[in-house]
Amino acid sequence: MAEQEENYEINPELKSTKRYFDVDAPVFWPAAIVVILFIAITLIVGDPMEEVFGKIQNTISDTGGWFFVLAVNFFLVFVLYIAFSKYGEIRLGGRNAKPEFSKGAWFAMLFSAGMGIGILFWSVGEPMNHFVNSPISEDQTVEAARVAMELTFLHWGLHAWGIYALVGMALAFFTFNRGLPLTISSIFYPILGRRINGPVGKIINVLAVVATLFGLATSLGMGVQQVSAGLAHLFDLPNNINTQVILIILITLAATGSVVAGLSAGVKRLSEINIVLAGLFLLFIILVGPTLFIVDSFVQNLGSYVQNFFELSFWTETYQQSDWQNSWTVFYWAWWVSWSPFVGMFIARISRGRTLKEFVLGVLIVPSLLTFLWLSAFGGSAMFLELNGLADITGAVKDNVATSLYVLLEQFPISSITSMVGVVLVASFFVTSSDSGSLVVDSLTAGGKLDAPVAQRIFWALTEGAIAAVLLVGGGLQALQTAATTTGLPFAVILIIIAWSLMKGLRGEHVEMMERLREKEQKDYQRIIVDILKKRESK
């Protein structure tokens, strides 16, 4: 047991002692330079970058799509195995650790950080896209509607959360149970040993920072497109790049304020507000929309998802030979992988005190079910209107996918109010994602410290906004998708190694846990024997 402990560099404090900047230079500067070079090249090259982004994404998707499909399935199976194996009873932070947040607050922060902006952007647009351009059935039929919801569930369901659960579990275990810094490189200690503090560990952390920044910028870029579209829809403001850049600046400044407030005062409070507002928004659609259709579709969509789970999960579009999967499934898997350092680290920070079984099931099931209900309400309502000829939602999606949510809301009462709520909700999720991401990148670039200086948090919050703005200027949605796909591929390889390293670490932890249990049983047995002997002597 003592030998096992010597293999780890225990650092229980992980607190910053500097006032303005407290950086791990071999991680901070390379990551900052890569980001600055990317911004500069995109701005200097200008319009031709859109074509460059397109070619990069197509090349990665064409050659690596099969790998993404296999990898993402492996991640989900792995975390489920951990939950239901002998390792499931291991508690993050040790056997006496208590959860820092209530389950309600925990779920709120999980959902806000993991899906927020994206689900608002695509909840109407994605099902309607698949309905019009179905990869499996005849377009714009009842069967196409069923398939569209099934595919949307695939992209937003268990696979996405399985990726987050893997990274979050690994980070939480090595930080709270082994006292290592909260960095991606710490996960590799069973493989690399003290070399995690050397060049290899630094390269891993740089990749994590870059993947996080570009994955986050993808979501922020989509979010600001939807805010801009909503304001144009409500107030006839110009919906163009200039407006979107201005909005990014304003919302990034708001996010900076939340970052300064910190995790409990800023992120937690805003996440809870987001969930309440989103819950009311969802309830409104269920009540005033086609209620029975929404409830029926939720049940049937869920059953269809479960029934065809394995076929869809391993589907690689081999016999269709089209580019549909590259634009959708492969992009999503790459996007979730590129987001995983951010969401995983954020989940790790809020999950101390949970057992691994509780952690995995909580991260997988509750957010997935909430997401499925949301998709059935908004996407299902849009499908109902389209199938019954009551509104041209597909036309709105073809015209500008960012406006599809507001076109749907127009079909129901008080649309001006609900559209404004939609704009506010997207903006607030933007702020939550940005400040959560800033806290994560701070930790990665500060050597794993949990409370990097405020000035450093502000720097990364502004940097995230700058990347999103540059990607929009340099190629719009295509550039956003390319950024996620490009960073997702190398990091998917890293995630596979993370699973191996985590397994080695959990084996050691389980051995120690069994030793402690045997010691306790021996002490209890000895105590019982002593009590018996004392009673005999007294007689």
362-419 tens-digit pLDDT: 999 988 998 999 999 999 999 999 999 999 999 888 888 888 999 999 999 999 999 9
Rounded Cα–Cα distance for residues 69 and 55 (Å): 21
- Tokens representing 248 are 């990014």
- 412 burial (CB, 10 Å; 0-12 / 13-18 / 19+) is middle
Whole-number pLDDT of residue 12:
40
Whole-number pLDDT of residue 363:
93
Residues with Cβ within 8 Å of residue 241, at least 6 apart in sequence: 472, 473
Rounded Cα–Cα distance for residues 81 and 75 (Å): 10
- Name the nearest CA neighbour of 364 among 67, 94, 68, 107: 107
Whole-number pLDDT of residue 182:
83
Whole-number pLDDT of residue 460:
81
Rounded Cα–Cα distance for residues 402 and 407 (Å): 10
DSSP-based three-state secondary structure for 98: coil
Whole-number pLDDT of residue 203:
92
Q: Which residue segments constitute the domains of the chain, with CATH numbers given?
A: 2-538 (1.20.1740)
The residue behind tokens 């790049």 is: 241
Whole-number pLDDT of residue 450:
61
Whole-number pLDDT of residue 289:
94
Residues with Cβ within 8 Å of residue 136, at least 6 apart in sequence: 147, 151
Whole-number pLDDT of residue 345:
82
DSSP-based three-state secondary structure for 91: strand
**pLDDT less than 70: residues of the chain:** 1-21, 112-117, 258-268, 271, 449-452, 475-478, 480, 524, 533, 536, 538-539
Following CA atoms 513, 516, 518, 524 in sequence, which dihedral angle do they give, to the nearest 10 degrees? -140
Q: Are 450 and 183 in contact (CB under 8 A)?
A: no
Helices (H), 237-328: 241-261, 269-288, 291-307, 309-313, 324-327
- Name the nearest CA neighbour of 324 among 60, 142, 477, 134: 134
User: What pTM value is reported for the model?
Assistant: 0.87
Whole-number pLDDT of residue 11:
46
pLDDT tens string 226-283: 888 888 888 888 888 889 889 888 888 877 776 666 555 556 677 677 778 888 999 9
Rounded Cα–Cα distance for residues 431 and 471 (Å): 18
The DSSP H or E segment spanning 358 is helix 356-387
